[in-house]
């Protein structure tokens, strides 16, 4: 799967609720990224 170039700069919330660029979450080590979708 090819990711769009803007993907790493996408802003997400960390576990403390702070907005951070997605790429900073894997800057220091490898991570597994899982997207869950709630249907309800």
Tokens of 21: 């660029």
Q: Where are the beta strands (DSSP E) in the chain?
A: 11-13, 19-21
pTM: 0.55
What's the pLDDT at 19?
Answer: 94
pLDDT band at 38 (very low <50, low <70, confident <90, very high): confident
Q: Model confidence over 10-31: pLDDT tens digits?
A: 898 888 999 999 888 888 898 8
pLDDT surpasses 80 at 3: no
């Amino acid at each position: 799967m090819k990711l769009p170039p803007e993907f790493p700069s996408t802003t997400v919330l960390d576990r403390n609720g702070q907005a951070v660029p997605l790429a900073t979450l894997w800057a220091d080590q490898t991570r597994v990224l899982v997207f869950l979708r709630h249907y309800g």
